[in-house]
Structure 1
Amino acid sequence: MIGKHIRHIKRYQEIVAVLVKYGFGYIVKDVGLFHLLSLPKQIISDFSGTGNEQKSIGQRIRSMLEELGPTFIKLGQLLSLRTDILPEQIAEAMRELQDHVTPIDPQTVKKRISEEFGKPVEELFSRFDENCLAAASIAQAHYAVLKTGEEVAVKIRRPDIETVIENDIEILWDLASLVEKRYEWARTYQISDIVEEFSLAIRSEMDYIMEARTTEKLHDFFNNNDTIVIPKVYREFSTQRVLTLDYIHGYKYSELVSGPPEGIDNKVICERLVRSFLDQALICGIFHGDPHPGNLFFFSGNKIGYIDFGQVGHLNDAMKRDFGDLIIGLMKGNTEMLFRTISSMTNMPDDLNERHFKADLDVLREKYYRLPFKDVHIGKVIHDIFEVTKKHHISIPKNYTLLGKALITLEGLITRLDRNINILELAEPYGQRLLIKRLNPSELSKKFLLNGYDIVENSMHIPSLLRKTLTHLYKGKTRVEMKLPQLEFLLAKVDRAANRISFSIMLLSFSIILSCIIIGETFGSRSLLSNVPVLGIAVTVVLFMFMIVLLSIFRSGRF
């Protein structure tokens, strides 16, 4: 940790200063980063957590993350999905996070492309538009035309963004560790796991080879569907830092809201939008994680185009089954099924009170039991489920939260186009299909054989594991591991008390020394030192030592 502090000291200081600026100085002090502030800021800053009340906590967190830059903006966007752990008002504020970035200048863009392909831009494209289509904190996109005549969008990663993000991720790991040692809620919600999830997500988003692979899978999946358009990837013009795809240009969502253009029926568009998304999630197993209006285009004949697959979710067969069971459990009013499904879907805490949790599931079940599909809004269902899991400190994996957020976004889109369309009504056939597939004899036999194989395989390892355990017990090598999460906090308290005692003792010592010198000067006999200003020198030395001790204690943040 000390090495990281030294290596990234300037960035640590920036982060700590911004935390204090937006009213989170008490966290800085609690986790022991107080000393990273300059002395003037240590003196004038508010560390009580009661100041800076002009804005809501959600607005302050959003402004803070925007000021800290691209890594923290992306972290906020990830956390905006986690309504299972964050209050809705904070999550809502973070959904409004914006990338305030200046586009990369054209010459830098062209240099970046040339470095990637070993050729100047003019040799790669017959036309390359220097004005970017869109600019974000990680990348920006440009319109271009290949030598063979295809119109393409070229997505270029910003120079040096990898270094910035990797450094910030290291710091986030450090901060997560400090926060977990200090706060119970941080351990409950496993902040380190969130940082790990975030680091994987942002590294995947920066890897355009991975995005190209995902786009190709969905392109192939919808290849025989004339109503869904997924851009083609041009592999020969794509690398880890540059991605080239078909340029898709159609009607924007806002144009459908103001009045559908000729050849477009909003009702049909809504149905196809929902079904195409459910096809992705529940059949293909890969779904667009951010289907907002900017990532959708519409064409005559009620065709829909998806772009930007940097953020995608994945559902395996077990996850698809669990999601279907969750909806079925709600609609059938089966609390036990809901409990088993949520247990399978999530990470249940060791200290979960099952009786209270099941009581809350009963309330949730009664709310939706026997309610017609047309009267159930998927956004409200997901919100209620997240509220129950949050209450019991149950952590929901990223792919489920991403699916929930995407469904809520879709519901918002279709509601503005056609209020009579209901996602759950359209999803019902998918649930039935998953149920039929699960009850298929071949699927049941396959599952039985796999479970039987696991039982036999694990049983074979029991004797050796038992022998090792008994051997360790016999030799006295058994180790007991204890976790004392509050130990560091208690040590900090002891350190603070020791500093105060040391300060008091030194102050008393200085007072005694000064008193002796004053008495000696007043009542002592004359000597060779009579002409030397002993009192002035002594006072100066004492004050100098006093300031050094005071400054060292004060800068430790534990006074």
Structure 2
Amino acid sequence: MLRETVGHLRDLPRYRQILTTLVRYGYHDVVAALHLEGIIRPIERVATGGEATPQDRPRRLRLICEDLGPTFVKLGQVLSTRPDIIPEAYTVELAALRDDVRPFSFRQVVRILEADYRRPLGEVFLSLDPEPVASASISQVHRAVLMDGRTVALKIRRPDITKVVQADLDILKNLAQLAERRLGFLAPYKPMALAREFERSLKRELDFTIERRTMQRCRELFSGDPTAHIPYTVEEYSTPRVIAMEFIEGVRIDDVEGLRAMGVDPAAVAVSGGRLMLRQIFEFGLFHADPHAGNFRVLPGGVVAPLDYGMFGQLDATLREYIADLLTGLIVQDPDRVIRALDALDIRGDNVDPKALRRDVSELVQTYSRLTLDHINLGLLLRELIAFIRAYHLHIPPDLVLLIRSLVTIESVGRTLDPRFDIAAQLEPFLRRLTMRRFHPLRMLHQSARTLEDVQRIATLLPDVLSQSLASIRRGELNVRFDLQGFERLVRQLTRASNTLAVGIVIAGLLVSSALVFREGGTSLAYSGFASGLILSLWLVWNMSRQ
């Protein structure tokens, strides 16, 4: 059993430290359920902090993460973003995990910089502040002035952190595998899948090259937005474990008095900051996944500057449209639309009763049926949605959880700045644009073209497939039984579907060509084309409703 659980003898001391810490903070039951008491020394089993009451367990879990170091601090922070997995009392407590840990020595800072720059620091900086501006579990930040006079922030990864983290990740994966086997109530949450996802996200955060590319991409995306400022990076002095970036002063976004002292209206900052985040999510599909107030500064003129690009979520165009459907369904209290969106987003569970699911979704959205848009507390609505997902043990993509957390944080910070801040109203134009984009004539034309390409590819492959199948039948390798019941109906349906597709392509072509003709000044011909397209569209809708 020891070999199965521990894997490598060299990890045994760390296993013992983790399990002893769990016992010391009152999590005896977890160690016992995993059958790992034998790893703990007898004297360590006695030296405990007593039994943890249900009310006290969240706080003790936070203390466990803090005691066990960087990997577990990050694990706790990630779990604080997963209310679909753990109860709210735990997410609230873990969200308070301190990331400001004891800094490593300035001597080590100099050693890392000189090794990466391959020259004395006197040739790089006019000055380098030995006192860190911030110190976190993975890195710390020092202020420096380059030879050209620019003030930069140096984000430096902790020495040997990758080795420490990798050892802890291996242990976490082994423990997750054991928990999945021995703690049946955890099976719906797939501990191994969660451990692998955590490993992926943490390794990405450790690679500063990825963070630097994210900063550069965000800077390009917001280059024309006067309300946003993305720090520039200094490529010459950036490496996989050092990021040299513009030093941002400013005022914390939630410092209302500081904003007023700077001559900035907090309500305007709430709108511009919310718009910045919503553009990241719904326009670019690349969004800040840790948008707490400490990660945003406000510059003179009300310009918002996001900091820390280590944790970002990504959403492709299709996923953004499904999310728009989900949010629209919640806002307009349409349970059927919510259920369709949940299914499209692959938010599903095992052995779920569809009737009970629809009933509870209806109850959730009907709670807000008498409220107008400006009175809907979207943060509360999303938290209730998460509680609903958790109650049904539905599986939810990690990036979608990060998105929901971001929206809740946006509303929370926005209402700190302006109690009348209405995120639903801020969301509305983004959701409307995503919905309209789905029915844009050019997109419909492209989709029709792709469908025709698929049909052509299938038609090209079909003769070969039939030839191989017939050859297999002749050789007695394949037995085929034909059942032609309903075949004529299938043929009619396929014929109707192909006709519908053809008319759709014609409509799209008419609308696009009419728009081009209208642009060139041929108004009468363009109007005729638009009218024909409208008539065909009405016929198409009527024909489809008969199917």
Q: Shorter-chain-normalised TM-score: which range?
A: 0.7 to 0.9
Identical counterparts, % of pairs: 29
In the alignment, what sits opposite 2:43? 40
In the alignment, what sits opposite 1:540? none
Equivalent runs, 1:492-531 vs 2, <5 Å: none
In the alignment, what sits opposite 1:310? 310
- Flag the 1:39–1:252 CA change in 2: closer, same or farther, 3 A: closer
The partner residue of 1:20 within 12, 15, 23 is 23
CA contact (8 A) 1:80 1:95 kept: yes
CA contact (8 A) 2:33 2:183 kept: no
In the alignment, what sits opposite 2:517? none
- Flag the 1:97–1:463 CA change in 2: closer, same or farther, 3 A: farther
Gaps of 5+ in 2: 479-547
In the alignment, what sits opposite 1:263? 263
Give the Cα–Cα distance (whole angstroms) in 2 for the partners of residues 270 and 253 of structure 1.
Answer: 9
- Flag the 1:474–1:84 CA change in 2: closer, same or farther, 3 A: farther
Give the Cα–Cα distance (whole angstroms) in 2 for the partners of residues 339 and 110 of structure 1.
Answer: 56
- Flag the 1:383–1:110 CA change in 2: closer, same or farther, 3 A: same
- Helix, strand or coil: the match of 1:152? strand
In the alignment, what sits opposite 1:4? 7
Gaps of 5+ in 1: 476-559
TM-superposed CA distance for 1:445, in Å, is 2.8
Give the Cα–Cα distance (whole angstroms) in 1 for the partners of residues 138 and 314 of structure 2.
Answer: 23
- Helix, strand or coil: the match of 1:287? strand
In the alignment, what sits opposite 2:56? 56
In the alignment, what sits opposite 1:278? 278
In the alignment, what sits opposite 1:66? 66
- Flag the 1:361–1:254 CA change in 2: closer, same or farther, 3 A: closer
TM-superposed CA distance for 1:372, in Å, is 1.5
Question: What amino acid is aligned across from residue 8 of structure 1 in structure 2?
Answer: D
In the alignment, what sits opposite 1:176? 176
1:37-84 residue CA offsets vs partner (Å, 9 max, x unmatched): 113345x478xx992329612111111111111101101111111111
CA contact (8 A) 2:253 2:293 kept: yes
In the alignment, what sits opposite 1:439? 439
Question: What amino acid is aligned across from residue 302 of structure 1 in structure 2?
Answer: G
TM-superposed CA distance for 1:356, in Å, is 1.0
CA contact (8 A) 2:34 2:183 kept: no
TM-superposed CA distance for 1:384, in Å, is 1.1
TM-superposed CA distance for 1:116, in Å, is 1.0
Matched, 1:204 2:207: no
In the alignment, what sits opposite 2:153? 153
In the alignment, what sits opposite 1:216? 216
In the alignment, what sits opposite 1:383? 383
Matched, 1:323 2:289: no
1:66-121 residue CA offsets vs partner (Å, 9 max, x unmatched): 11111011011111111112111111111011135211111110110111121122
TM-score normalised per structure 2: 0.81
1:157-183 residue CA offsets vs partner (Å, 9 max, x unmatched): 000110010000000110000000012
Question: What amino acid is aligned across from residue 426 of structure 1 in structure 2?
Answer: Q
Equivalent runs, 1:327-476 vs 2, <5 Å: 327-369=327-369, 371-450=371-450, 453=453, 460=461
- Helix, strand or coil: the match of 2:260? coil
TM-score normalised per structure 1: 0.79
- Helix, strand or coil: the match of 2:130? strand
In the alignment, what sits opposite 1:141? 141
- Helix, strand or coil: the match of 1:107? helix
1:445-495 residue CA offsets vs partner (Å, 9 max, x unmatched): 32344456557767959959999999xx989xxxxxxxxxxxxxxxxxxxx
Structure with bigger gyration radius: 1
1:533-559 residue CA offsets vs partner (Å, 9 max, x unmatched): xxxxxxxxxxxxxxxxxxxxxxxxxxx
Give the Cα–Cα distance (whole angstroms) in 1 for the partners of residues 472 and 414 of structure 2.
Answer: 59
- Helix, strand or coil: the match of 1:101? coil
Give the Cα–Cα distance (whole angstroms) in 1 for the partners of residues 254 and 441 of structure 2.
Answer: 48
The root-mean-square deviation of aligned C-alpha atoms, in Å, is 2.7
1:486-528 residue CA offsets vs partner (Å, 9 max, x unmatched): xxxxxxxxxxxxxxxxxxxxxxxxxxxxxxxxxxxxxxxxxxx
CA contact (8 A) 2:25 2:50 kept: no
Give the Cα–Cα distance (whole angstroms) in 1 for the partners of residues 471 and 232 of structure 2.
Answer: 56
In the alignment, what sits opposite 1:125? 125
CA contact (8 A) 2:100 2:134 kept: no
1:212-267 residue CA offsets vs partner (Å, 9 max, x unmatched): 00000110111111221100011111111000100111123354246612431112
CA contact (8 A) 2:100 2:135 kept: no
Give the Cα–Cα distance (whole angstroms) in 1 for the partners of residues 241 and 428 of structure 2.
Answer: 41
- Helix, strand or coil: the match of 2:132? strand
